[in-house]
Amino acid sequence: MSGPNEPLLEVRDLAVQFFTYQGTVRALEGVSLSVARGEIMGLVGETGCGKSVLARSVLRLIADPPGKITAGAIRFKGRDLLTLSRREMRRIRGNEISMIFQEPMSSLNPVFTVGSQMLEVVALHQAVGREEGRRICVEMLRQVKMPDAEQVLAKYPHELSGGMRQRVMIAMELSCRPDLLLADEPTTALDVTVQAQVLAILEGLTRQRGVAVLFISHDLGVIAQLCDRVAVMYAGGIIETAPAGAIFAAPRHPYTRGLLHAIPRIAARQESLAVIPGSVPSLVDPPPGCRFHPRCAERFFPCDRVVPPFYEPAPGHRVACHLHAGEEGRRSWERS
């Protein structure tokens, strides 16, 4: 079972497909990722590369139909989440693993008060009475530095600002002391100043409580500031993982290098990838071999044929790119 050195979350060879009228969208393929206890893991990649799908898969929130997890395993504290019953899964959601979404404006139910929504979650996972539950909610709201925590419980979401709502979400999602928080671009929709406050609260609370975070963002600046390790995604796969320092100091994958080059020049985050020539490939009919090869300036003969495996050019730094293949790798292409 789960030993002390085993990662908290270990995703192995995960594949997710969406069956649509346009064809089968191969949204994730061969995705492997691990998150250690208490670690903040960043997940970056341009829009549509599958970051949200990955996070949702962990909680088994992929809508079926059209989506399906078609292969792989998601081990959490030694158990494969994909084999759990729905009931067991519900006991994990919001309790051991919780999730915060991008849109603070729409992620709270508009017709219930903040208090009733928070209390519902607390009461669901913890054997506490009304008074105790209320006390936990107020305490959590204080922890996210919500002014007038008591009064906020009686408010409806529309009476709060975006930043306040996102604090409510953080408070709600941490109220059951989860081990893992999936944060899907939790600050992207906020103003820059509010964003900084919310990030500080999120980081402070999770570090203090030892909550591991899978932090999804477009924003490399935020990732650099917050994360211990970073995984870079491209077109449905993870192409590079490394400690945050190493990714920024010595990126190995041509895509990651392009991504990093783009930062200082362009302020708007969304456009930051425009400097990499070409465009994001279709996931219905992705390029063979390395999915990045049509846009890659450094491609050579195996790239359009062989899916690159992971190489480890430095300890803890893994990259899926043929450029980093050793002698052995080269021999294997020549054989095929």
Partner 1 sequence: MRIVSYVLKRLAYLVPVLLGVTLLVFIISHAIPGDPARMMAGQKASREAVENLRRSMGLDRPLYEQYLRYLAGLVQGDLGFSIRNQRPVLEDMRDFFPATLELTLASMLLCVTVGVPLGILSAVRRNRPIDHLSRIFSVFGVSMPVFWLGLMLLLLFYRHLGWLPGSGRLDIGIDPPAFVTGIYLLDSLLAGSLGTFRNALAHILLPAFCLSYVYLAIITRIVRSSMIAVMGLDFITTARANGIAEIVIISKHCLKNALIPTVTITGLSIGELLGGAILTETIFNWPGMGKYVVDSVNFLDFPAIMGFTLVVSFAYVLINLAVDVVYAFLDPQIRY
State the residues that interact with ligand ATP by CB under 6 A.
Answer: 18, 20, 25, 27, 45, 47-53, 63, 66-67, 283
Q: Closest Cα partner for 291 from 22, 29, 16? A: 29
199, 13 contact by CB (below 8 A): no
Report the partner that residue 153 touches, choosing among partner 1, Mg ion, ligand ATP, none (CB closer than 5 to 8 A by kind): none
Question: Cα separations (Å) of 327 from 32, 302, 324, 332, 334?
Answer: 24, 14, 10, 9, 11
In the chain, the DSSP E strands lie at 9-20, 23-35, 40-44, 67-76, 79-80, 97-100, 180-184, 212-217, 229-234, 237-243, 311-314, 317-319
For residue 126, state whether it binds partner 1 (rule: CB under 8 A): no
The Cα–Cα gap between 145 and 149 comes to 8
Among 71, 112, 203, 263, indicate the residue that binds partner 1 (CB under 8 A).
112
Question: Do strands 40-44 and 212-217 pair parallel, antiparallel, or not at all (unpaired)?
Answer: parallel
Instruction: Supply 238's token pair.
Output: 């993870």
Asked if omega into 66 is within 30° of 0 (cis), the reply is yes
CB-nearer residue toward ligand ATP: 21 or 315:
21
Instruction: Supply 32's token pair.
Output: 């492997």
Size of the site for partner 1 (CB under 8 A): 30
CB-nearer residue toward ligand ATP: 25 or 74:
25
CB-nearer residue toward Mg ion: 114 or 199:
199
For residue 101, state whether it binds partner 1 (rule: CB under 8 A): yes
Non-local CB neighbours of 106 within 8 Å, separated by 6+ positions: none
The Cα–Cα gap between 222 and 200 comes to 11
DSSP letter for 249, please.
H
Positive/negative CA dihedral, 75, 81, 82, 84: positive
Which of these ranges, 21-29, 71-79, 90-98, 251-259, lies near partner 1 under the rule CB under 8 A?
A: 90-98
Compute the least distance from the CB of residue 173 to partner 1, in Å.
8
Among 2, 70, 109, 279, indicate the residue that binds partner 1 (CB under 8 A).
109
CB-nearer residue toward ligand ATP: 51 or 318:
51
CB-nearer residue toward partner 1: 179 or 240:
179
For residue 228, state whether it binds partner 1 (rule: CB under 8 A): no
Compute the least distance from the CB of residue 106 to partner 1, in Å.
4
Which of these ranges, 48-56, 196-204, 231-239, 277-285, lies near Mg ion under the rule CB under 5 A?
A: 48-56
Among 40, 41, 50, 52, indicate the residue that binds Mg ion (CB under 5 A).
52
Residue with tokens 């054989």: 335
For residue 189, state whether it binds partner 1 (rule: CB under 8 A): no
Which of these ranges, 92-100, 226-234, 241-249, 250-258, lies near partner 1 under the rule CB under 8 A?
A: 92-100
Catalog residues that contact Mg ion under the rule CB under 5 A: 52
Binding site for partner 1 (CB under 8 A): 59, 61, 89-95, 98-99, 101, 103, 106-113, 120-121, 124-125, 156, 158, 169, 172-173
